[in-house]
Amino acid sequence: MYPKNAWYVACMPEEIDDKPLGRTVCGEALVLYRGPEGKAAALENFCPHRGAPLSLGAVIEGKLVCGYHGLEMGCDGKTVAMPGQRVRGFPVIRTYPTIERYGFVWVWPGDPAQADAAKLHHLAWAESPDWTYGGGLFHVNCDYRLMIDNLMDLTHETYVHATTIGQREIDETPTKTVTEGDTVITSRHMENVMAPSFWRMALRGNHLADDVPVDRWQICRFTPPSHVLIEVGVAHAGNGGYNADAKFKASSIVVDFITPETESSIWYFWGMARNFNPHDKPLTASIREGQHKIFSEDLEMLESQQRNLAAQPGRQLLKLNIDSGGVQSRRVLERIIAQEQAAAPAALSA
C-alpha cells in the first residue's frame, strides 16, 4: 500500500519533450505529454473510443492524438475531434493534477480535489544558481518500502558498496534516529577516518587533498510519501566535520525520489545535488557515473529480496537498531495510509 494523496515524480521533463510517455504511478496508468504552450499534462492512458493506450499516439499542436484511429484528446480529458465523427457525446477520461518544478514532472494520483501545490516538497537547492544536479532513473522490481529501508539504513554500504562508498567505520559508528512530525531523520558521524574511493574523487573535484584523514557524515531524511534526501560529505579532520568551512570539505545531497509503480515495482529517480564547483560539467558527469555504479549495486539485492519476501509473505523479519530509520518511516506511512482509507468511505458517501 502507498499514499495516493501526494505528489510523486512521474518523469523527467525531457522524457516528454518529443512524444507522449506511458507510465504507471501508484497503480494508475498515465499518459504524460506537453499540451498547449508546452505545459506538462497527465491523463489516464486510455482512449475512450476503443481503449487503446494514448501513449502510443503523438502530440500534434498541443493535442494528444490516439495512434489507433486519430482521436484528438484535450488536457481536460475531453475528446476534441476525430476524423469523420461527431464527438460531443464521447465520455471524459480522468485527468491528474500535474506540476513541472525543480527539474521534475510531478503528478497527484489520488483525489484531485485534495491536490495542493503548496504540499509539493520544497527543494531549495534546485532554485539556487550555487548548486547543480545530475542524476538518472532506474526501474526496480521491488516494494517501494524496501528502497526506503535501504536508504534509511546505510550500514549496507560496507558490504554492497565495498569498493565505492563502503568502509568498516560505518559498522562501528552508531546512528541516531529522531522523528519530527512526518519527517524521520537518521544520522551517522564518523571522525578521523580515511575517505573511500568515491569521496576521494569528490575531494579532488573540490581541489582538496584526498589522502588525509577526514570526518564523514550521513544524514538521511525521509518525508512522505517516499522521498529520501541524504546529506553526505567529508571534511578534512579537525575542521568541524559537518559544520566545517566550505574550503575544507566536499559535501552534497543525495536525492532519492521513489515512485511506486505497483505493489512490487518502482520508478527510482536518483541523483546528487552539490554546491562545490557547480559549473564543472566533467565533475558532474564523473559523480553521476559514480552514483550510477553505486545504485546499480543495490538493484540485484533489492530485487532478490523482493522475490524472497514474496515467496514467504508470512515470514517475520528482525528489527535491529540499524533499522530504526526504516521502521519509523514505515510507521509514518502506515498512519498516513490509514488516514486515507478512513476518509475514503466518507468521501464516497458525501
Note the pLDDT tens digit of each residue in 113-172.
Answer: 999 999 999 999 999 999 999 999 999 999 999 999 999 988 888 788 878 788 888 888
Question: DSSP assignment, residue 82?
Answer: B
Q: Same domain, yes or no, for 290 and 237?
A: yes
- Pair 172, 208 in one domain: yes
Residue 267 has pLDDT above 90, yes or no: yes
Instruction: Summarize the confidence of residues 24-52 as an average pLDDT.
Output: 96
Provide, rounded to the nearest whole percent, the portion of the chain with pLDDT above 90.
Answer: 79
Same domain, 252 and 188: yes
Whether 123 is covered by a domain: the verdict is: no
CA angle 274, 302, 329 (to 5 degrees): 65
> Is the residue at 344 inside a domain?
no
Average pLDDT of the residues of the chain? 93
Q: What do you get for the CA distance between the two ends of the chain, in Å?
A: 24
Q: Looking at the predicted structure, is the pLDDT value of residue 109 above 60?
A: yes
Kindly report, residue by residue over 215-248, the tens digit of the pLDDT: 999 999 999 999 999 999 999 999 999 999 999 9
Work out the average pLDDT over 307-334.
Answer: 90
- Residues 25, 10: contact at Cβ < 8 Å? yes
The reported pLDDT for the residue numbered 165 is: 84
Query: What CATH number has the domain bearing residue 19?
Result: 2.102.10.10
Assess if residue 350 is contained within a domain.
no
User: Are 138 and 277 members of one domain?
Assistant: yes
Can you give the pLDDT at residue 167?
85
For residue 343, is it within any domain? no
Question: Hey, what's the cell of 180?
Answer: 519530527
| Pairwise pLDDT comparison (115 vs 88), residue with the higher score | 115
* Helical segments of 206-323, H only: 281-311
pLDDT given for residue 281 in this prediction: 93
Q: How confident is the model at residue 321 (pLDDT cuts 50, 70, 90)?
A: confident
Provide the pLDDT for residue 347.
52
Does residue 251 surpass a pLDDT of 90? yes
Asked, for residue 42, whether it belongs to a domain, the answer is: yes
Instruction: With CA atoms as reference, report the closest residue to 228 among 265, 271, 176, 286.
Output: 271
Please indicate, yes or no, whether residues 96 and 156 belong to a single structural domain of this protein.
Answer: no
**For residue 199, what is the domain's CATH number?**
3.90.380.10
In this predicted structure, the answer to whether residue 349 has a pLDDT above a threshold of 80 is no
DSSP summary character for residue 14: G
Average pLDDT over residues 25-51: 96
Asked if residue 163 and residue 97 are part of one domain, the reply reads no
Mean pLDDT score, 8-27: 97
- Whether residues 22 and 137 share a domain: the answer is no
| 306 and 174 belong to one structural domain | yes
The residues near 38 (Cβ < 8 Å, ≥ 6 apart) are none
Q: What is the number of structural domains in the chain?
A: 2
Query: How many CB atoms neighbour CB 168 within 10 A?
Result: 10
Is 91 part of any domain? yes
Boundary of a domain, candidates 84, 118, 152: 118
Which pLDDT value is given to residue 345?
A: 66
Last residue of a domain, one of 118, 141, 171: 118
Cell for 47? 482512449
Whether 72 maps to a domain, the answer reads: yes
**Which residues touch 129 (CB under 8 Å, ≥6 apart)?**
278
| Domain closes at, from 118, 150, 178 | 118
Q: Where are the alpha helices (DSSP H) in the chain?
A: 144-152, 157-160, 168-172, 197-205, 281-311, 324-349
User: Is this model's pTM higher than 0.75 or not?
Assistant: yes
Domain containing 18: what range? 8-118
Clarify whether residues 244 and 313 are in a common domain: yes
Are 156 and 230 in the same domain? Answer: yes
| Residue 267: how many other CB atoms lie within 10 Å | 21
pLDDT band at 105 (very low <50, low <70, confident <90, very high): very high
* pLDDT number for residue 317: 85
Q: Cell numbers at residue 109, please?
A: 494520483
**Percentage of the chain exceeding pLDDT 70:** 98
Do residues 281 and 180 share a domain? yes
- The predicted pLDDT at position 21 comes to 98
Other CB atoms within a 10 A radius of the CB of residue 341 amount to 10
Give Cβ neighbours of residue 169 (< 8 Å, ≥ 6 apart). Answer: 190, 193, 216
Query: Residues 153, 258: one domain?
Result: yes
Q: How confident is the model at residue 51 (pLDDT cuts 50, 70, 90)?
A: very high
Measured distance CA(126)–CA(103) in Å, rounded = 8
pLDDT at 346: 55
Q: Which three cell numbers stand for residue 273?
A: 545535488
Say if 151 falls within a structural domain. yes
